[in-house]
Structure 1
Amino acid sequence: MPMEPDVIAWGSLLSSCKVYKNVDLDGLHPQKDEIYKMMDKIWKEIKKMGFAPDTESVLHDLGVEVKDQILRYHSEKLAIAFGIISTPENTTLRIMKNLRVCNDCHNAIKFISKLVDREIIVRDATRFHHFKDGSCSCKDYW
């Protein structure tokens, strides 16, 4: 690269790694495999409950299966999977995000809260979302 990489270059690299499943940048977390296995399990279970991924949330021109995979591994979903494997049952999970939660994650977290029978609090760029028993305190106005 003829110049020093900036925030945009690094962001593009990380996004590309997600799309093409380069786990080299992801591989540093010692519980990575457990987290991804838990998220895969959660994803299957919430789909059985009626959750349908919002593939329109992925703005890239990709196949439905790739979009499904990208949505499954959004950061807040992985944070929730990590919380589930790392905390005792019935513990409230608190997730902080510096961007607004996407529509797909918002809907998925409603299903996850019901599946795991936990309160999940997500602080995004605009508000706190309290998910419990399959609903959110924002009444889906977010």
Structure 2
Amino acid sequence: MVKQTRATLSRLPNWRARLAAEMDRQRRDPFAWGSHDCALGLAAGAIEAITGNDMAAEWRGRYTTPLGALRVLRKAGHASFTDFVAAHLPEHDHPDQADIGDIGLVESDGPVGVALCIVDASGVIVMTETGHGRRPRSDMTRAFKVG
């Protein structure tokens, strides 16, 4: 069962091809806070590919550091990165319910403590300093439905 939240997104008929193309495009872009990080690059790019909805438009370019990202989130009324995601996407009761293209949260050694990931058939795709990386699905602590 998915918990109800504000965002209602629908997957486009060709979402799988669009998601594959977006993941290929992203692999060419280096990590950059505020433009191509786990939220504004990886997750927002996947959500836009799957649904056609750019949920990150108002956030791009508003920060360039992890501290800046947290500051922007707090100004918007979110206590944490996790709270922000939960306020915008419906949450699965358990990460095992996540489907391909859904968004997950994984613990991170980075300065924010968590990172967004994209669920795929064999695990999750994460951002690293050098591009996309992979982790097992079991690393997800929470999962959110995209469309």
The normalised TM-score by structure 1 is: 0.25
Look at both structures and tell me which one has the larger radius of gyration over its CA atoms. Answer: 1
The normalised TM-score by structure 2 is: 0.24
Structure with a larger share of its residues in strand:
2
